[in-house]
Amino acid sequence: MKITGGSDEPVARRPDDHLLEPERRALANVAYRLLGSLTEAEDAVQEAYTRWFALPEARRDAISSPGAWLTTVVSRICLDQLRSARVRRERYVGEWIPEPLPVRAEWSELSLGSTAGDPADHITLDESVEMAFLVVLDSMTPAERVAFMLHDVFRVPFSEVAEIVGRTPGACRELASAGRRRVAAARNHGAAAPRRAVIVRDFRQAWQAKDVDALVRLLDPSVVAVADGGGRAMASPVPVQGREAVAEFLVRLAGLADRLDLLERTVNGQPGLVAMKGRDILTVYAFDIDDDLIQRIWAIRNPDKLRPWAG
């Protein structure tokens, strides 16, 4: 994906100028991967556009590539947010999971909001938005994450990354290398998308049937289930580990639930589940699957992180 392009022609002076709109999708893709939040990514992109249109006209005309300029500004905004996020996470209630990404077109039959111009539609679905990948990114330092993502995913030269991060190109090369090692250490063999969908469907059916044995057969012995309520929704304050413990925990949840519907939906480009009560979305579930077994379950319950799903 090329993000350093952009029109060399003079641009109009309105925030909705169609010549800059193609850049918005690229910028949203950068910002979401850097921040792990669709809401914060949109805010970062909007702030970059605000700064662009605040420039004197002569300054804008002197910038040959608005897309490259906007990418630099968005990346710096994201880097600042990542640094402050580390402080905010220390005060976060319970576990923190990246904000899940919906495919709004899947909800058309329920008419849950309009899909026209939806921010989620700006995000290209590939392995760099999978929940497992975002969780690894979140383990990196802010500088590692920015250097790794910009260079390895978006192919930004280290000379440009250095200007964004405020380090030398050589230091940015080392940062990206450290991020690469983290990703390599966490990467599993994965499973093809059709097979993942079958496993998630079997999981849903076993869960709805409250069948502990069937659940155990689908879970890796060292499976970990993590829930993010953010202090806004009930969630286990610590991860649940081990397939028997996770299966029994899930069955207990099913017993406590009052008429919940589990829908199979795409979550960050992979098969996932959405728990609904009536028309209210309560939880989004993402999975990490390897060797036909579920390795990780992420349950996002914080309503602030579910706003993009509600339309």
Q: What is the pTM of this model?
A: 0.87
- Structural domains present in the chain: 193-310 (3.10.450.50)
Distances (CA, A) of 252 to 48, 207, 220, 282: 47, 10, 19, 17
Contact 86, 43 (CB under 8 A): no
Return the H-helix or E-strand segment holding 273: strand 270-277
Closest CA to 300 of 280, 277, 275: 275
Per DSSP, 303 falls in state G
Digit-by-digit pLDDT tens for the chain (311 residues) are 333 333 333 334 444 455 577 789 999 999 999 999 999 999 999 999 999 999 999 999 999 999 999 999 999 999 999 999 877 787 889 999 999 999 978 876 554 544 445 677 888 888 899 999 999 999 999 999 999 999 999 999 999 999 999 999 999 999 999 999 999 988 776 667 789 999 999 999 999 999 999 999 999 999 999 999 999 999 999 999 999 999 999 999 988 877 778 999 999 999 999 999 888 999 999 999 998 999 999 999 999 999 988 76
Q: How many CB atoms lie within 10 A of CB 61?
A: 11
